Structure 1
Amino acid sequence: MKTLNRFKSKKVLVLGLGKSGYAAAKLIRGLGADVTVNDRSDLSKNDHARDLKATGIRVVDSGHPLELLDGIDLMIKNPGIPYTNPMVQKALELNISIVTEVEIAGLLSDAPFIGITGSNGKTTTTMLIGEMMKGSNYAPIVAGNIGTALTSVVQKATEENVIVAELSSFQLLGTREFHPHAAVVLNIFDHHLDYHGTVENYAEAKARITANQTAADALIYNADSERVVTYIAEKSRAQKVPFSLKTKVADGAYVSEKVIYFKDEPIMKADEMGLPGEHNLMNALAAVAVAGVYGVPKQHIADVLRSFKGARHRLEYVDVVQGRTIYNDSKATNIIATSKALHAFPGKEIVLLAGGLDRGNTFDALIPELKKAPIKAVLLFGQTQKKLLDACEKASIPVIREVENVEAAVPEAFALSKPGDVLLLSPACASWDQYKSFEQRGDIFIAEVNKFR
């Protein structure tokens, strides 16, 4: 890890004590900074807060007092805290530099970065790239939005490693000098507009992933996405490596006659992949393009695509129980993710479990997908139950049941299905109305399914 004097004796405020805040605070403190951590929650019983205090870091909880900004040189903000937060607004007024831990990690890392962003498919693609890069001259470390703070891994990463980082728009918006050697942009949909305001602002945040790249770097991008091309690829200075499901892109990755290619060299048959669904084929092409750029042998790339079964909670194959094939797609927290999941099982009838946090949107955009998909029944729960009920009725779903939660939905799903069917949890909503996280929701789903073994 690089040791930079730029943080020595600087007054740094870490806003939000999550995984990234904890790791960043410890790291910056070790580089000689005067660190204060602030969180709106009560941290009196928080182990991380106690540990930080033991190292001489000041911890202020239960609110965001503006006086903490007095004399502050740098704010390291939790990505999920919006810029409308009064503390952040005041910091902007005071011209205090505001970054996320991605920026700190990028400045300190000896290892190069492969950064992956997009509205959907980030986690699956990041994991695929991590597995493929094991066939390169680098030892990959997978981190970032996938669950491991980047500031915790840069301390052990060397020039022999490559950090494969899943990056959200929230994280990227707080970068200034971050410079990945390879940047991957999967897609841009109308997501997180409550945070960014407009799709243009959202795209600009995503574009930060390539803002500091040069011709010595690579931008791997979705040539089928007009927004990705217009907002990001056309403006990038990096070497451009496209991937496409629609077009033969000779300088990138594509599918032709059901075979996956990279730079016109065949890799494997597309139907041999371990992951179902056209959207996962697109994720695979992105990963193939990255691996191709790094010279990973074709056989290793193919082996990974055949054996990889997916990220946890992202169209995760669970098992066959009483003849039903079970998939946990709890990470499908929006309409687009669920739409893709519904078309991942050609020739199979689906019992769908859906619902969750109401963010104010309707589900009209889901209606055409519900009509096209082979759905025999839907179980609805959570705050969006009535809105989804309306969409399902408009889509003429034959059986629609309202249930209290996932726990109640699983036995109903078994009762309404037969051997050969797919039972799919793909909520199209966030989980926070009834569960702490989409992970908890998915784990509960699997636990309830296991009762039918």
Structure 2
Amino acid sequence: MNLKGKRISIIGAGKSGVATAEIAKSLGATPFISDSAKIKDKTVLEKLATLEIYCEFGGHTSKALACDLMVVSPGVSANAEIIFDAKQAGIIVWPEIELAYRLCRGKIVGITGSNGKTTTTALIGEIFKNAGLPTFVCGNIGNPFVAIAQQVPENGYAIVELSSFQLEQIESFKPDIAVFLNLTPDHLDRHDGLEAYIDAKMRIFENQKVGDVAVVNYDDQTLSKRCPEVKSRLVWFSLQKMLDDGIWATTEGSIFDGKTELMKSSDVKIKGEHNLSNACAAIGAALSAGISKDKLVEILKSFAGVEHRLEPVRLIGGVSYINDSKGTNVDSVFWALKAVPAPVILIAGGKDKGGDFSALNEMVIKKVKLVILIGQASDKIEATWSKLVTCIRADSMEDAILKARINSKPGDTVLLSPGCASFDMFDNYEHRGQVFKKAVWDLKPEGASK
């Protein structure tokens, strides 16, 4: 793709935006970054100055529209006024992954879904690496796709975690292997209702052709209804149905490829029913790429999961502290609660994404002894659960950990699984998880208070 001499406006100065600007400049384009927010991280400004990349912060001016191409970062809404103005002016508008796709010579495995994306993306990446394939894991996990796109050789794979934000504005982007894990209400604060959210996610299949592959969760009713219409080859996976052609498993039995047993379900190192489903999805992707059973089974037996997703942090005074900061929606909290032993002290809250917390009522009654609320969604969650379980407030993560310590006793699990976004109190979910872990490790090892 020839960008030489092109003027490219990049909307959003986060990790993706800065990476896009760097790549654009290296290809001979003239990038300009515009961000509606005021600059928080001075190192970003210093980096852009060093690279001689012009920028503006605190609002979009007419400078952002003086371009041949506009590239939008994932954090920017498709309904943003600057995007509307650009389209009205006839400017081509792409998401970052569209540009990355056009720069990538290798094959692409794209992973989307409401929950489990990061774990499954990392797992698929490890399986492909173990098979000796040039593998680059990117997207919402680690590096932006655009940062590594040109490094992927023709015989290599980009393993890309994809959000609805990234998919909603694609033009030609398509993965060779598309993995769709599940669908539950999420990001309703940004999308215009559930159907708009589903439509954005479904775009992962939009440009696929007959020779491509779609690995899809048979157990998800919405997906099982909508996915038979895709053009690519369908590979189903299921925990509920024995599939003659597909990947299926039982929690107490084995994982199968059709009628061929691959391994015992109990041998999958990452625990929980949701992770068994994620493992089946990863197997479907790996087998579709021609990876041998032995190579994928090796990784499934050793892969320990990812940071901030049901991550054991510390056992102190007989109380287990678990970091599930990646649990940013209601459904992810359900699976986290299902996976950990009761009684649970649950730390929840943050920036509300429009989720229905009453969907967790039965699980809360069954497993939670105390809810400690943080962030903007505290009122909403307390109104939903206060008649089911004791709910208390905390002013900070450190305060939440101290309150959890005071109210815990040996055998309890303290679980951070917020069910909300992090941006009201933290930079991102990683920052939230790091603050949680530091607060836990700052506890003195003298046993729980009760």
Q: Name the CA distance, whole Å, in 2 between partners of 1:446 and 1:68.
A: 40
1:131 aligns with 2:122: no
Q: Per-residue CA shift, 1:80-124, capped at 9, x if unaligned?
A: 111222211111222322111111111111221100011111001
Which residue number corresponds to residue 18 of structure 2? 22
Q: What does residue 379 of structure 1 align with?
A: 372
Alignment equivalent of 2:435, drawn from 417, 420, 444: 444
Residue 7 of structure 2 corresponds to 11
Does 2:83 correspond to 1:96?
Answer: no
Aligned length: 443
Alignment of 1:365 onto 2:356: no
Distance 1:360 1:440 in 2: 22
Contact 1:367-1:394 at 8 Å conserved across structures: no
Other-structure match for 1:428: 419
Identity rate of aligned residues, in percent? 36
Kindly provide the amino acid, as one letter, of the partner of residue 418 in structure 2. Answer: P
> What is the aligned partner in structure 1 of residue 183 from structure 2?
188
Q: Which moved more, 1:106-115 or 1:155-164?
A: 155-164
Partner residue of 2:391 out of 389, 400, 405: 400
Deviation at 1:250, TM superposition (A): 2.3
Does the C-alpha gap of structure 1 residues 433 and 35 become closer, same or farther in structure 2, counting only changes over 3 Å? closer
Deviates more, 1:104-113 or 1:310-319: 310-319
1:271 aligns with 2:262: no
Partners of 1:361 and 1:135 lie apart in 2 by: 38
Is 1:319 the equivalent of 2:310? no
| Aligned-pair Cα RMSD in Å | 2.2
1:59 aligns with 2:55: yes
Q: Is residue 183–residue 223 contact of structure 2 (8 Å, CA) maintained in 1?
A: yes
Question: CA offsets, 1:207-227, max 9 Å, x none?
Answer: 222222112111001111122
Q: Distance in 1 between matches of 2:334 and 2:36?
A: 36
Task: Establish whether residue 158 from structure 1 lines up as the match of residue 153 from structure 2.
Answer: yes
1:78 alignment partner AA: S
**Which residue among 225, 229, 244 is the counterpart of 2:238?**
244
SS at match of 1:442: helix
2:329/2:353 contact within 8 Å kept: no
Query: How big is the shift at 1:53?
Result: 4.6
Find the aligned partners of 1:263 and 1:190 in 2 and give their Cα distance: 31
Distance in 2 between residues matched to 1:215 and 1:360, nearest whole Å: 37
Aligned positions of 1:195-344 closer than 5 A: 195-231=190-226, 233-256=227-250, 258-344=253-339
Partner SS, residue 394 of structure 1: coil
The code of the aligned residue for 1:10 comes to K
Counterpart secondary structure, 1:95:
coil
In 2, Cα distance between the equivalents of 1:358 and 1:105? 31
Question: Residues 320-356 of structure 1: CA distance to partner in whole angstroms, max 9, x if unpaired?
Answer: 222222210111122111111111135x322211122
The offset of 1:359, in angstroms, is: 4.8
Could you say if the C-alpha distance between residues 203 and 363 of structure 1 is closer, same or farther in structure 2, counting changes exceeding 3 Å? Answer: closer
Q: 1:213, 1:358 → 2: CA distance?
A: 34
- Cα distance change, pair 381–24 in 1 and its aligned pair in 2 (3 A): closer
In the aligned structure 2, how far is the partner of 1:214 from the partner of 1:181? 9
Amino acid aligned to 2:187: H
Aligned partner of residue 33 in structure 2, secondary structure: strand
Whether the aligned pair in 2 keeps the contact of 1:145 and 1:166 (CA below 8 Å) is yes
Give the whole-Å Cα distance in 1 for the aligned partners of 2:41 and 2:434: 26
* Residues 217, 224 of structure 2: 8 Å contact kept: yes
Question: 1-side partners of 2:412 and 2:264: how far apart?
Answer: 26
How far apart in 2 are the matches of 1:195 and 1:210? 22
Name the CA distance, whole Å, in 1 between partners of 2:370 and 2:221.
Answer: 35
Q: Does the CA contact (< 8 Å) of 1:259 and 1:269 recur in 2?
A: yes
2:34 is aligned, of 33, 38, 50, to 38
Quickly say closer, same or farther: Cα 1:42–1:403, change in 2 above 3 A.
Answer: closer
* Structure 1: unaligned runs, 5 residues or longer: none
Q: Deviations over 1:65-86 (max 9, x none)?
A: 135314x321101121112222
Letter in 1 for 2:220: S
CA distance in 2, matches of 1:67, 1:51: 20
Q: How many angstroms apart in 1 are the aligned matches of 2:178 and 2:355?
A: 31
Cα–Cα, structure 1 residues 67 and 285, in superposed 2: closer, same or farther, change >3 Å? same
Q: 1:319 to 1:251 in 2, by over 3 A?
A: farther
Structure 1 residues 362 and 227 mapped into 2: Cα distance closer, same or farther (>3 Å)?
Answer: closer
Q: Which moved more, 1:253-262 or 1:14-23?
A: 253-262
Q: Which amino acid aligns with 1:215?
A: V
Q: Which moved more, 1:85-94 or 1:125-134?
A: 85-94
Task: Please report how far the alpha carbon of residue 32 of structure 1 lies from its aligned counterpart in structure 2 after TM superposition.
Answer: 2.8
Change (3 A) 1:60 1:341: same
Secondary structure of 2:263's partner? strand
Aligned to 1:404, the other structure's residue is in SS state: coil
The more displaced of 358-367 and 187-196 is: 358-367
Q: CA 1:240–1:362 in 2, change beyond 3 Å: closer, same or farther?
A: closer
SS at match of 2:262: strand
Aligned residues of 2:138 and 2:161 also touching (Cα < 8 A): yes
Check whether the contact 2:187–2:354 (CA below 8 A) recurs between aligned residues: no
TM-score where L is the length of structure 2: 0.92
Q: CA deviation at 1:33?
A: 2.4
Which stretch of the first structure deviates more once superposed, 215-224 or 320-329? Answer: 320-329
Question: What is the identity, as a one-letter code, of the residue corresponding to 1:177?
Answer: S
